[in-house]
Amino acid sequence: MRLELGKIFIKDIQFADSSKIENGILYVNKEELLEAIGGDEHIKSIDFDIAKPGESVRITPVKDVIEPRVKVEGPGAIFPGILNKVDTVGEGKTYALKGMAVVTTGKIVGFQEGIIDMVGEGAKYTPFSQLNNLVVICEPVDGLKQHDHEKAVRMIGFKAAAYIGELARELTPDETSVYETKPLLEQLNEYPDLPKVAYVYMLQTQGLLHDTYVYGVDAKQIVPTILYPTEVMDGAIVSGNCVSACDKNPTYVHLNNGIIEDLYARHGKDYNFVGVVITNENVYLMDKERSSNWTSKLVEYLGVDAVIISQEGFGNPDTDLIMNCKKIENKGIKTVIVTDEYAGQNGASQSLADADEKADAVVTAGNANQVVVLPKLDKIIGHIEVVDVIAGGAEGSLKDDGTIVVEIQAITGATNETGYNYLTAKTY
């Protein structure tokens, strides 16, 4: 598959009488946007706000972060199986609005939602502080069940991103990148002298509110399979989970998977990037065994020399990570695992819940238990009281003077594994 990704850089967002993109500025008509995304019986109100880099603004609780994209040529449309038909995507031409995101917030869905600070200490730990954020504030009806609340906010976020992305359809991109992965035999023979590398992409699927969707299917219901990397760029994988904010991959991170982008950047130069194997993270041992068996089998079938394995989440998924690593290594294929750590606030605890001597090449995305003090900011979008109950926070995290003391696991994207540039991370 060959995908041209046109990048349109957004330098500002403003509310206006009509929605359009002009000279790098996104103008949004609130009424038009509301008409496009509203109408869910589970949501009693929707409002919009804007948060820009450097502003004294805190967004919490953050449900998802989504980069608007629109497919302008080729089969399918953005978010297949979610907003559009289940056509196979990943080829043709897609436009992405860079430098901005749609962020969803409102009353908390689950205790593992997070914080985005646009300035100060917290801004150092989240990549989303550097974006112009269109914030969609969704308040649920009283008594709504958590899974209905999550789905309603998730779908509103995707609809908002699709609406904004559609504004770019007739524009000329500021920059275009081309990504191509050929059918397997052709791809394997293209660079015979380079090491053949694949990417094992572990998706969070640990039960209710820990969901990731592949072409609209909850990944708990799939067995490991092979994707063209470009399918990911067209929204074939999206977030639906409320795992700890620093651990979960928001939809933005799936669309901009840093490992895939780095592998493509060195494809044909340092190695031959063959493709992606997606797998899930399970609760029961039998399911873990099945998925890790299939993952290692598919990697062997691809005929690669090495794989990079990334994990989403922590604790229980550490076992899936080590199973994948060990079984792939046992087939004579080298592995590098990318994970974060929960090493305790003093950094002295065991970093992972599972380990094996074959996991001898590890890239860390940081210690999620590291404590930070977030200053009082002038404006809150959402509900500030939740910082006392979200993962990484505790009773009393919100101080009387407005400062917040939390572990960085409470910050959205703080130690995100797949969004992390593993080439510059610390390797053990």
Q: 411 with 340: CB under 8 angstroms?
A: no
Q: 200 with 64: CB under 8 angstroms?
A: no
377 vs 35: CA distance, rounded Å: 32
Judge whether 138 counts as a catalytic residue: no
Nearest CA-CA partner of 270 in 186, 362, 197, 319: 197
CB atoms within 10 A of CB 168: 23
pLDDT tens for the chain, 428 residues long, are 999 999 999 999 999 999 999 999 999 999 999 999 999 999 999 999 999 999 999 999 999 999 999 999 999 999 999 999 999 999 999 999 999 999 999 998 887 899 999 999 999 999 999 999 999 999 999 999 999 999 999 999 999 999 999 999 999 999 999 999 999 999 999 999 999 999 999 999 987 788 999 999 999 999 999 999 999 999 999 999 877 888 889 999 999 999 999 999 999 999 999 999 999 999 999 999 999 999 999 999 999 999 999 999 888 888 999 999 999 999 999 999 998 888 788 887 777 777 888 989 988 888 888 999 999 999 999 999 999 998 889 999 999 999 999 999 999 988 766 654 433 333 33
Q: Are strands 132-140 and 43-51 parallel, antiparallel or unpaired?
A: antiparallel
CA distances from 396 to 73, 388, 392, 393 (A): 52, 6, 12, 8
Which residue blocks in 59-210 are alpha helix, DSSP H? 146-166, 184-190
308 vs 325: CA distance, rounded Å: 9
pLDDT digits (tens, 9 = 90+) for 185-229: 999 999 999 999 999 999 999 877 889 999 999 999 999 999 999
pLDDT value at residue 207: 76
88 vs 356: CA distance, rounded Å: 37
The pTM (predicted TM-score) of the whole model is 0.94
Q: 234 with 94: CB under 8 angstroms?
A: yes
pLDDT value at residue 425: 38
How big is the chain by its Cα radius of gyration, in Å? Answer: 21
pLDDT value at residue 355: 82
pLDDT value at residue 196: 97
Q: 28 with 14: CB under 8 angstroms?
A: yes
Q: 397 with 406: CB under 8 angstroms?
A: yes
140 vs 19: CA distance, rounded Å: 26
107 vs 150: CA distance, rounded Å: 11
Backbone angles phi, psi at 138, to 5 degrees: -115, 115
- Encode 245-257: b = buried (16+ Cβ within 10 Å), e = exposed: bbbbbbbbbbbbb
Q: Is 18 exposed, middle or buried (0-12, 13-18, 19+ CB in 10 A)?
A: exposed
Backbone angles phi, psi at 133, to 5 degrees: -110, 125
* Tokens standing for residue 177: 């990148």
Helix (H, G, I), strand (E, B) or coil at 154: helix
Q: 76 with 232: CB under 8 angstroms?
A: no
What is the side-by-side strand order in the sheet with 43-51?
43-51, 132-140, 100-105, 64-66
Nearest CA-CA partner of 302 in 420, 187, 389, 175: 187
Q: 406 with 115: CB under 8 angstroms?
A: yes
pLDDT digits (tens, 9 = 90+) for 354-394: 788 898 998 888 888 899 999 999 999 999 999 999 888 99
Nearest CA-CA partner of 317 in 427, 254, 241, 257: 241
pLDDT value at residue 426: 37
**Residue the block writes with tokens 């899974």:** 147
Helix (H, G, I), strand (E, B) or coil at 164: helix
pLDDT value at residue 65: 97
pLDDT value at residue 418: 63
Helix (H, G, I), strand (E, B) or coil at 130: helix
